[in-house]
Structure 1
């Protein structure tokens, strides 16, 4: 296809879906390595998709072509994005020592905090990101879908 290349420096803009970024960020916060991945061939505008990194993945595309580009989700949100709510932070008995611990109330409060975090993070996307390439960082625009 015209305009496609094995050289990631051909990329000018990357499109990401907001849900993919939030899901990757949440998975990473929970201990799984999730990224937004761009695979060759590269063009001026490409789409990065959610990808959970496996320990045994090949360094290239598996067919001798260029390696996929992995964008850590933290690079796609601003530095002032809210921190991921930890379970201990949402324990209602921590606010008031006279409150008896209730598992269901804690679960509901934590689930609400996670929902609020997901919504808040959606307002913290960056306008551009530096992609890691063999020839060094390559800055591109970020377009957020959804």
Structure 2
């Protein structure tokens, strides 16, 4: 299959829901910098896979296109639950006694609920940064 060196040949990108959620969680939890990377050669339909971003300059042209995971969800996406928020909610519940184990369990549940809820917030289109300027493409979510 041949492709083009021109990223404006892309009409749509496909992303795995799990890749986007994992990348979002990594950004929010640990400050890591994962992206969804579209690797040349480019064609009408491309796959974007999770990748750890870096400041590496690419010797080969064209360079891959990087999409921030936040660009793939709407502004209405729920915020990631922090352990402190989970602790506050648990301590504020008069029907339950606080324990470390209960806090850990509740936080695990809160993260699972967040992961589930964020999958309802994927965008239909995203703008890619290309050497020719911004280029809007449709987004297909897999899984």
TM norm structure 1? 0.90
Tell me by how many angstroms 1:54 deviates.
3.7
Match of 1:121 among 108, 114, 118: 118
Runs (5+) with no aligned partner, structure 1: none
What is the aligned partner in structure 2 of residue 88 from structure 1?
Answer: 84
* Other structure's SS at 2:27 match: helix
Q: Does 1:109 find its partner at 2:110?
A: no
Tell me by how many angstroms 1:66 deviates.
1.2
CA RMSD in angstroms comes to: 1.6
Figure out how many residues of one structure are paired with residues of the other and give that number. 140
TM norm structure 2? 0.92
Q: Does 1:77 find its partner at 2:73?
A: yes
Tell me by how many angstroms 1:144 deviates.
0.4
Q: Does 1:46 find its partner at 2:46?
A: yes
Q: Deviations over 1:69-122 (max 9, x none)?
A: 1100000000000000011110111x1489654110100000000000000001
What is the aligned partner in structure 2 of residue 65 from structure 1?
Answer: 61
**Structure 1 segments of 4+ aligned residues over 4 angstroms from their partners:** 96-100
What is the aligned partner in structure 1 of residue 21 from structure 2?
Answer: 22
* Other structure's SS at 2:84 match: helix
What is the aligned partner in structure 1 of residue 5 from structure 2?
Answer: 6
Instruction: State how far apart, in whole Å, the 2-side matches of 1:98 and 1:13 are.
Output: 50
**Counterparts in 2 of 1:145 and 1:98: CA distance versus 1, 3 Å:** closer
What is the aligned partner in structure 1 of residue 133 from structure 2?
Answer: 136
Runs (5+) with no aligned partner, structure 2: none
**Structure ranking higher in helix proportion:** 2
Instruction: State how far apart, in whole Å, the 1-side matches of 2:7 and 2:41 are.
Output: 8
Tell me by how many angstroms 1:52 deviates.
1.4
